[in-house]
Structure 1
């Protein structure tokens, strides 16, 4: 027994000496970490989320792209009074608000602990300044024309008085005016040229670290003092990639929002590692008319074109099922404002030809092209480069009724500019911001109106003019009774479906794919982010999401 105890003691002493020796060796061999090792260690510890994206300019208020995704980059750093999530409008800078009996005065109470990213408290004076500044310097994303006066009642209370009742004020104006720090912007006289570090000081969940103008790479860091809570990532990197599906599978990005519909569906079938999330089709593909062309002012011509286009086949062949067939009344059929009491246009070339004949448009010289007052209905048809297959189908459809199109492809920004300037005859283009409040129908109003919509949705060219439409639009924008307003909006859709100021061809489906093993909790926003932007990039995800890596 004594020998056994002695052996145990010797063994314990040996182990103790070995441990001390190992500790000594560790202490002796530990060297200061090199900068490269430090970077590697930081990279492993940082929660870096990588997403695809587009080059949309410097992400400050007046220097970003007028497109919806350009505004979203701004929203990462600049908050608004209210915002939207998957259920609808929620408080943001304003913790609550009240509305006066006459529905023209809104009083917002601000959260107490909000600071701009330079450490300056956000107050009611900043809110007042931001609204006043946008009145003096018109903003391409949202108009504050309905606002008469803004008053900072005290440090955390702001009162906004409207010129007239404006039903979508909270969602479409209060929810989209970026609140800018007065102490930075008050001396900025040319905001479209303001692109310094000070220009991106906001109160949002992210802080811009860098933007590469040439490559379009954006790097954002978390706002460690964000008032809504801890931001669930440390860094966001957004960059353009050639093939988003391949980049996702190769682990080059964690979220692919520009993935093609078919590729996303295939990925969903083939690899359970990735999640695919589909949202509403708040992006519309439209045929635009220049109403400066005499015969295009004849509604029977436009109706004949709509009858001649096989929209079901168009969606299947040109879009591979990645869209829903367009509605003649323009508003998406899933919208709570949609009315089924509209004129329908099922594919019917015979009816199309009869309509043309009824207004004296026939092929008198038998050259295959119909004529109006001796002039062939032959038009240049401008389309974005990626939409040539769709344009070729439309060319065939209209050729079947004697209307000849010559397709001219160009980049989408050029198309948008030509439409806006009216330098076109027929054009195809599309845009988001196509959901939510029926204020989106402002694009068909041919007179001044207080309604606020992004410039990207406007009609362009010499506009279609309909007095009845103008009158009803202005009535519904101030109608507080929802049922009465629904009836008025239904009448607007009925007029659109009969007059066809545009041919609504399809609604593009929104789809994204991502790796939930890195980051999860993505959602699509009810009625789209901000002014109905059809994307998954709601900044709330950076606070509500779950980092899983």
Structure 2
């Protein structure tokens, strides 16, 4: 166990409601007999994505899952499942100074890149300097002023303003890159190259990418002795949820994260050692385009929301396991500490009278066919989703029928993951069906959804969030104010302001708690996160928790 100093009062995020972490890092995990141990092949599902494209660039659109955490690593592991737990990864400790305008980071001393060259402070300084020099690479809008390497294992970063609230992104999300490789690329290449043969610090190297199979091979020189426990990590991709679920239920997959309808019958009952870990970490929502098209009108957004029967969707699609979200889209009980008391128990507005009121106020009128029109044009909104995500397909079809009854035309566009994610990244859509969250902090949660400094203009790409390009000066100010202090009492009014503005503007249309079903084949694997041992979020696809778990999951006894 290694110690970390924050330079601020010691308190967990759950108590401070900010990225003010506890002063002691969680146990690292690990052990085992040796790197690339005798575990053979760990087979995991990459979900419904079709053939793999050999893209391992963390800054390019649609990098493969293995990019983040398996090959490239951040400085620390922020446990998305347990707010306030932080583990050393490439770094061992950090200290804030000057009211959050400076941070000193101490690195491990025994790390090498997978090409054998040493990992040093120069690599870290170079990575953060890139974000300062190239706006397209500054995915988390880090206010970097300067970066300096002090010797081989210490880095000091200064900021133009307090960066406390960027702590999670700065230390837990940005992946360190090798200076001796990336300095040879132009600014444009850094954002677009597919980087097919990545040089990372992670426990795995790319062995092969063929069709729907991606193989990683364990490094024998990984800096944490005993990790990983499997020699090969094999990703398998499928054309859709049905094909993926069939492979999972037949025992072909060791670790998966797909939605399985009636999971008790269709998975758990198949084998006594099949296991399910379900830790909700996000909210499923319709994400409207806030700048273009009909959903740029808040009245349209609220009318769509009021026409939806979330309870029916939950019971029909998720067997009652996905309760309706609240109108603030606040993850509860995770973020209970920052809930506006006046909104305790708040529920979504529903009903035709609400639909009629919002659309009438927005200048729409009902035609003789019962459909709403404005300037003679029918109110029609398209929603894009991934064709292989069968639960979302069902949700969208139900929404289509519900909106039709309310007089709104919903066009469902089921498309490939690559097309969907490209449109999402560039803001080229009217509405998306997606989910947001997977962060240990409410400020980061709202920032990813609402911070106007994160997304570029429509047509330019972002992998981070606020895909609908929503902008609200009041929310931006509230996010900044939260970052100026670690005192919960001072932060609370600004969290309340964000929640009130969210209800007023409905920048996203919250639906329900996102399912996070992770299936583990106990005949083949052990040592994965469980409700009793949540050392990380158990999601195979989560960046970078999936990489943290992949190195620590072990072969079942005798396998």
Q: Give matches, 1:18-417, under 5 Å.
A: 47-54=40-47, 57-58=53-54, 60-62=56-58, 65-66=61-62, 70=64, 72-85=66-79, 87=82, 88-137=85-134, 142-143=139-140, 145-189=142-186, 190-191=189-190, 192-193=192-193, 195-197=195-197, 200-212=198-210, 215-231=211-227, 232-241=229-238, 243-263=243-263, 266-282=266-282, 284-293=284-293, 296=295, 298-321=297-320, 323-336=322-335, 339=339, 341-342=342-343, 344-357=347-360, 361-363=364-366, 365-385=367-387, 386=390, 387-417=392-422
Aligned to 1:533: 542
- Contact 1:261/1:511, CA 8 A, preserved across alignment: no
Distance in 1 (alpha carbons) for counterparts of 2:449 and 2:231: 44
TM-score where L is the length of structure 2: 0.77
Aligned to 1:11: none
Does the C-alpha gap of structure 1 residues 408 and 220 become closer, same or farther in structure 2, counting only changes over 3 Å? closer
> C-alpha offsets along residues 191-239 of structure 1, whole Å, 9 cap, x if unaligned?
3336353xx2222122222222xx1322112222222221211221111
1:491 aligns with 2:488: no
Structure 1, unaligned runs of 5 or more? 1-42
Q: CA deviation at 1:359?
A: 5.5
Q: CA deviation at 1:404?
A: 2.9
Aligned to 1:442: 447
Q: CA deviation at 1:315?
A: 2.1
- Contact 2:313/2:395, CA 8 A, preserved across alignment: yes
1:469 aligns with 2:478: no
* Counterpart selection for 1:430 from 413, 434, 443: 434
Does the C-alpha gap of structure 1 residues 167 and 324 become closer, same or farther in structure 2, counting only changes over 3 Å? farther
Aligned to 2:485: 479
> C-alpha offsets along residues 302-353 of structure 1, whole Å, 9 cap, x if unaligned?
3233222111112222444453322221232233265254463243223333
Matched length? 495
SS class of match (2:514): strand
Determine which structure has the larger helix proportion and give its number: 1
> C-alpha offsets along residues 361-419 of structure 1, whole Å, 9 cap, x if unaligned?
442x5331233455443444544434443233222222333223344443344344445
Distance in 1 (alpha carbons) for counterparts of 2:247 and 2:148: 50
> C-alpha offsets along residues 468-522 of structure 1, whole Å, 9 cap, x if unaligned?
2232233223333233223312210121112212211223211122222322111
Aligned to 1:510: 516
Does the C-alpha gap of structure 1 residues 355 and 282 become closer, same or farther in structure 2, counting only changes over 3 Å? closer
Q: CA deviation at 1:270?
A: 4.4
Q: CA deviation at 1:420?
A: 5.2
Does the C-alpha gap of structure 1 residues 264 and 74 become closer, same or farther in structure 2, counting only changes over 3 Å? farther
Distance in 1 (alpha carbons) for counterparts of 2:384 and 2:38: 50
Q: CA deviation at 1:287?
A: 4.2
1:455 aligns with 2:462: yes
TM-score where L is the length of structure 1: 0.79
Distance in 2 (alpha carbons) for counterparts of 1:77 and 1:477: 31
Does the C-alpha gap of structure 1 residues 71 and 474 become closer, same or farther in structure 2, counting only changes over 3 Å? farther
- Contact 1:47/1:547, CA 8 A, preserved across alignment: no
Does the C-alpha gap of structure 1 residues 274 and 528 become closer, same or farther in structure 2, counting only changes over 3 Å? closer
Distance in 2 (alpha carbons) for counterparts of 1:480 and 1:107: 19
- Contact 1:146/1:450, CA 8 A, preserved across alignment: no
Q: CA deviation at 1:274?
A: 1.4
Q: CA deviation at 1:76?
A: 0.6
Q: CA deviation at 1:546?
A: 5.3
Q: CA deviation at 1:291?
A: 4.2
Does the C-alpha gap of structure 1 residues 395 and 543 become closer, same or farther in structure 2, counting only changes over 3 Å? closer
Aligned to 1:17: none
Aligned to 1:33: none
Distance in 2 (alpha carbons) for counterparts of 1:514 and 1:116: 31
Distance in 2 (alpha carbons) for counterparts of 1:169 and 1:156: 22
> C-alpha offsets along residues 138-175 of structure 1, whole Å, 9 cap, x if unaligned?
56684363221111111111111122112233321222
Distance in 1 (alpha carbons) for counterparts of 2:384 and 2:89: 42
Does the C-alpha gap of structure 1 residues 44 and 155 become closer, same or farther in structure 2, counting only changes over 3 Å? closer
Distance in 2 (alpha carbons) for counterparts of 1:382 and 1:360: 26
Does the C-alpha gap of structure 1 residues 324 and 60 become closer, same or farther in structure 2, counting only changes over 3 Å? same
Q: Which range is displaced more, 298-307 or 501-510? A: 298-307
SS class of match (2:440): coil
Distance in 2 (alpha carbons) for counterparts of 1:460 and 1:44: 41
Q: CA deviation at 1:357?
A: 4.2
Distance in 2 (alpha carbons) for counterparts of 1:71 and 1:164: 33
SS class of match (2:94): strand
- Contact 1:521/1:541, CA 8 A, preserved across alignment: no
Does the C-alpha gap of structure 1 residues 424 and 251 become closer, same or farther in structure 2, counting only changes over 3 Å? closer
When the two chains are superposed, the root-mean-square deviation of aligned CA atoms in Å is 3.5
Does the C-alpha gap of structure 1 residues 204 and 466 become closer, same or farther in structure 2, counting only changes over 3 Å? closer
Distance in 1 (alpha carbons) for counterparts of 2:552 and 2:451: 42
